[in-house]
Amino acid sequence: MAKTSEVEIILVGNELLKGERRDSHAQFIGNLIGTIGVRLTRAHIVPDDREIIGDTVRRRMRSARAIVVSGGLGPTHDDITREAVADGLGASLEFREDQWKWIVGVFSRFNKTPHESNKRQAYFPPGSEVIPNALGTAPGFMIEKDGCLVAVLPGPPRELRPMMESTVLDKLQSIFRRDPLFTETFRTTGIGESDMTPKVGPLFANFEKEFVVSSLPHLGGVDVVLTARTDGDLKKLKKRADKFEASLREILGAHVFGKGTRSFQAVVGDLLIKRGETLGVSESLTGGLIGKNLTDTPGSSAYLLADVVAYSNESKVEFVGVRKASLKKHGAVSEVVCREMAAGIRARTDATYGLATTGIAGPDGGTKEKPVGLTYFGLASGDGEEIRHRVFPGDRITIRERVAYATLYLLYRKLTRV
């Protein structure tokens, strides 16, 4: 293959450049094509500008074996992607009667008739393969030219994702016919990159010949990622990776919480399920974030009994049995109240463990004695309560994320004795 680049994506949308939307396609597509051993080599975000889109398609077709373009296929006048891609391909657009009938059919299923403007969605470059859209009115299309596959898909994730997962992925697989490049991620927590580097440096060096070893800081720790340098013998690579893992676990112990993409929350849930134990949570400043994070993973009902967001003082008393006297004497953001919340939710749900948070998420509500970020978080178990406090840095969203992580880390330590 003369091409220097495998798959590139061109994401179309002023809203992605003006900060009105955060792209999720790069992550999704990178992940997806990784499963068939194909690499996303570059991503470009470009404005709703016919010339720039057309130009980018034309230029990147020279280097890339495949290009996915997303966004701007709707019926409105600022949806100019189909025209721009045709420019890039040096092609025109032709009306496809069959596709127009399909669009009319979609509308009629909802007892509606399409508007005249929807007719634009039935135009395609000659010779394209139409990609059906099960969840919207804009079909996609793909076409090969000059050794490059150009696939064009609508922008909304719920429409793009199934279209990528079926038609486009099959096509990429038939183009690349690739053994998956070996990659493995080891996830660690409770140790920063600077502390980890000297400990694991010699180990990393030992495996440099077969793997690119990268470390990637995240909210509560560091991911260590192995990627094979070449498409070698998969079995052999797997064996070496197992060896790497064993050494890493020997060095870092339970700081290594998992492998792959499974989240820290999911891993804590797995530990509880394995032990047949249960959890009750009572949140104040995190407002439901801990519960939301835990229940993002299927199966969480096996251990999570209840999560009471006791936002008002009255609800702290009513739902988890905090004493009015404690609130009056110490205030809601205090060690005493946090302890009563953790013990209270544990008792009321009859769970093995109780977790609690109370603090000041900001930006307002801070004082000199109790600044923004000050948080008490704690764990109740059969051994009593363990309450910590810390002033977390960052804005409201960051503070809440850090608190949620730190609180769950208390439980993780209890379950693994890090």
> 216-275: which residues touch its own copies (CB under 8 A)?
216-217, 223, 225, 227, 261
Q: How far is the CB of 118 from its own copies (least distance, A)?
A: 8
DSSP code at position 252: H
Report if residue 38 touches its own copies, rule: CB under 8 A: no
What is the number of other CB atoms lying within 10 angstroms of the CB of residue 19? 7
Rounded CA gap, 16 and 37, in Å?
Answer: 28
Q: How many CB atoms lie within 10 A of CB 1?
A: 8
Among 101, 105, 129, 135, binds its own copies (CB under 8 A): 135
CB neighbours of residue 380 within 10 Å? 27
**367: contact with its own copies by CB under 8 A:** no
**3-class DSSP state of 52:** helix
Cβ atoms 83, 12 nearer than 8 A: no
* Number of residues located near its own copies, criterion CB under 8 A: 104
Q: Which is nearer to its own copies, 315 or 416 (CB)?
A: 315
Note whether 123 and 92 are within 8 A (CB).
no
Residue placing its CB nearer to its own copies in the complex, 94 or 314: 314
Q: Give how far the C-alpha of residue 396 lies from the chain's centroid of Cα atoms, to the nearest Å.
A: 20
Phi, psi of 369 (to 5 degrees): -75, -35
- The residue within the footprint of its own copies, chosen from 100, 102, 107, 207 (CB under 8 A), is 107
Provide the 10 A C-beta neighbour count for residue 22: 7
Bridge-based pairing of strands 279-283 and 353-359 is parallel
Residue choice 207, 211, 322, 361 for contact with its own copies (CB under 8 A): 361
| Closer residue to its own copies in complex, CB, 156/253 | 156
| Interface residue with its own copies, options 117, 126, 180, 250 (CB under 8 A) | 117
Stretch that binds its own copies, among 26-34, 83-91, 235-243, 247-255 (CB under 8 A): 26-34
- Position among 97, 109, 115, 382 found at the interface with its own copies (CB under 8 A): 115
Instruction: State the nearest-atom distance from the C-beta of 311 to its own copies, in Å.
Output: 5
Give the x-and-dash track for 199-218 against its own copies (CB under 8 A).
-------------xxxxxx-
AA letter at 121: Q
Nearer to its own copies, 48 or 340 (CB): 48
Q: Select the residue interacting with its own copies from 70, 121, 128, 137 (CB under 8 A).
A: 137
Contact 148, 66 (CB under 8 A): yes
For its own copies, give the closer residue by CB, 143 or 332: 332
Q: Which of the residues 281 through 340 are near its own copies (CB under 8 A)?
A: 281, 283, 285-292, 294-296, 298-301, 304-312, 314-315, 318-319
**309, two tokens:** 């967001």
Yes or no: say if 297 and 368 are a contact pair by the CB < 8 Å rule: no
The single residue among 98, 364, 369, 383 that binds its own copies, judged by CB under 8 A, is: 364
Residue 398 within binding range of its own copies, rule CB under 8 A: yes
Chain positions 72 to 91 lying near its own copies, rule: CB under 8 A, are: 74-76, 78
First-to-last alpha carbon distance for the chain, in angstroms, is 49
User: Which phi-psi region, left, alpha or beta, contains residue 389 (left: φ > 0; alpha: ψ -120 to 50)?
Assistant: beta
